[in-house]
Every structure is written in C-alpha cells, then in structure tokens.
Amino acid sequence: MAENLCTFYFQATPATTYWRCELPAKHLPGAVHPAPKLAVVQDDAKNLTFPDVENDTAIMQFPGDQGTAIILMALQSQGKKLLVEVDDNYLDRGDELWRTRAGWGRSIGQTPHTTQGHRWISEHSHGVIVTTEALAEAYGEVNDNVHICRNTIDPDDWPTYEKPNDGVFRIGWYASGSHDRDESMCRKAIAWASRQPNVEIVNLGLNPIAWNFTRTWHGWREDFKSFRPELMKLDVGISPLIGTPMTKYRSDVKALEYSMAGAFPILQAERPYDEWRDKEYARMCWTSSDWMSAIKWAVANQDEVRAKGNLAREHVLLNRTFKTEIAKWRKAIES
C-alpha cells in the first residue's frame, strides 16, 4: 500500500468533503479526518508531535478559527506544513447574505470563524490550494504559493451510463439552497417548458417556491451521490447564476456532473463557466431572454441535444477526470 502523502482535515458539507478531500486523498493517496480532531501530543522531550499528520503535511479546508491559527504555528515550529484549501473566496465576504448564512463574522472574536482570521491563516500558511483561476488571483494577494487544482470526476463513483427510453424529454436543475436567488434567470423559460408535451422538469435538491408549475422534485439528501441515478435520466442540465460579488469564485462542478450524466449543460455566461464557452457540448446564456431561447431550442431539437449530451460526457472523460489533475495536487503538496 502506498504511503499517504498528506492528511486532509474537512469541515462543512459532505459534498465539499468529497470533492476537495476524499477524492484527492483517494488518488494521491492521503488520509482524511474531521477538522476539529487534529491530535497534538507532547513527547518525552516535551516536543509537540502530530501523530495524525502523515508525511508532515496537513491540508485544512477553509479555516478561519483561532484554534487552527494556533495549530498552524505549532506545526511550523516542528517543521511541518499546513496548506489551506478553498473552493470559494473566504477572504472578503462581499455577499452579506452568504456570510450571514454561513455564520462567519468579519473580525476575530465576533464568531468562531471570521474573514479576518481566515486571511491571517492563509497569509501565514505554507500555501493555498484553490479550484479556479479567479480564486488563485484573490489568494495570490495574501500568499505567493497558490496552486489551482480543479474539481474533477472519478468515473468509478458513478453508476452505469444509460438513459431511459420512454419518450420523455427531461430538463433538470440540481442545486443547493445557496442558489435560491439564481432561479429567476430561467424561471419563465422553465415554466414554458413545463407546459410542452412529453417534457418533464426535474428539481434535485433546491425546491424553488416561485416555481409553481408542474415538475418533479427530489428533496435534498446528505448522501448527495444518491442523486446520480436521477442525473442520468436528464437530457438537459441547467445552471443559472445571478451576478453577485461571489459568483465569479464558484467552480464549474455542476457542468461536470451534468456532463458525466450525459445531460447537455445550459450554463450562465459567468466566469465559472469560461472553459465551456463556444464549445459544441454546452450552451451559454447571458440574460433571461437567452434562457428562453436556449430552452425552446432544446425542446425543439431533442435528438441533437441528446447527441451533444454524449459529447459533453466524452469531454469530461477525456479531460476532467482525476487523472488530469493529480499531478497538480502532488505539486502543491511537494512545494
């Protein structure tokens, strides 16, 4: 069995734990533990030791608390490394609604996690691992050792690829509660589609209150991978976004998931989806009118849409599995 190269410490949701800790740990390999349980022991010579930190490298998910700051200093005093891992911009929560929901304060002492505390930890850590170029730009202002390790798919974690043959054209939106403001971009378009014959609208996770038309809703599940058989049934996967100060820092993970499921991605023309612009296997929308045009085109060209969904899946399998990113994770750890 290969030696673990590092130890990941996770917090928050099962989804971020999977994408940013469990997947890289599987392929590096590495160990994974809950963030609050980093063991610290004093040996006979009264030196601090960290028995769980394998290969002298700890990777912490978006830390912003005083305990992690102390651990950072203790690790460094023993010649060990702490890398910060972020999939969003925690340096400056310009979106007050998000900050309130997450329970983060601005200044150290206000709440257990604060943007000020996170900035200090990020500045003094050995380096930062991010998901996107936009995040690299933001964290490059506080740390000169920043590594972009994109989200990627592990095909082994997905069910057998097959589509229902029942004559129904399915348009789906898979989203968490943090996307509740985004639905307004495509509401009229999806309402129109819901009235078309043999078209089914499917919500996975978020249940938009304003969507008072006929649709199928699968409520949020902690076991988010259990949604994947439902994603496999989709012909189209949508990802609307409202522009906020934090929008550009999101990743393209939804496009990856839709594509792996063979669902043609229709995406908001915001920075997270820059890589998908002008590609045959995706379509971009800027305005609500664009969303209406895109959805009407999809319903009118169902065979072409399904063919493009297959192209999107092929793109991901060739270019966005963990095989394409593992070297970048290793480089970050070895830096």
> Does residue 97 have a pLDDT over 80?
no
> Does residue 251 have a pLDDT over 60?
yes
Q: According to CATH, where is 3.40.50.2000 located in the chain? A: 155-319
* Contacts by 24-30, CB closer than 8 A, 24 or more apart: 24/149, 24/322, 24/326, 24/329, 26/154, 26/322, 27/154, 27/322, 27/326, 27/329, 28/4, 28/326, 28/329, 28/330, 28/333, 29/2, 29/4, 29/5, 30/4, 30/5, 30/6, 30/54, 30/59
CA distance 23 to 318: 18
Q: Would you state the pLDDT for residue 101?
A: 73
- CA-based torsion, 241, 243, 245, 250: positive or negative: positive
Please count the other Cβ atoms lying within 10 Å of the Cβ belonging to residue 261: 28
Average pLDDT, stretch 229-241?
98
> Does residue 93 have a pLDDT over 70?
no
Q: Would you state the pLDDT for residue 138?
A: 96
Q: Would you state the pLDDT for residue 95?
A: 64
Q: pLDDT grade, residue 74 (50/70/90)?
A: confident
Class of domain 155-319: alpha beta
Q: Would you state the pLDDT for residue 94?
A: 62
- Amino acid sitting at position 41: V
Q: What is the pLDDT of residues 106-136, one digit of tens each?
A: 889 899 899 999 999 999 999 999 999 999 9
Given a contact cutoff of 8 angstroms between Cβ atoms, the answer to whether 24 and 8 are in contact is yes
**CATH number of the domain at 7-152+321-334, please?**
3.40.50
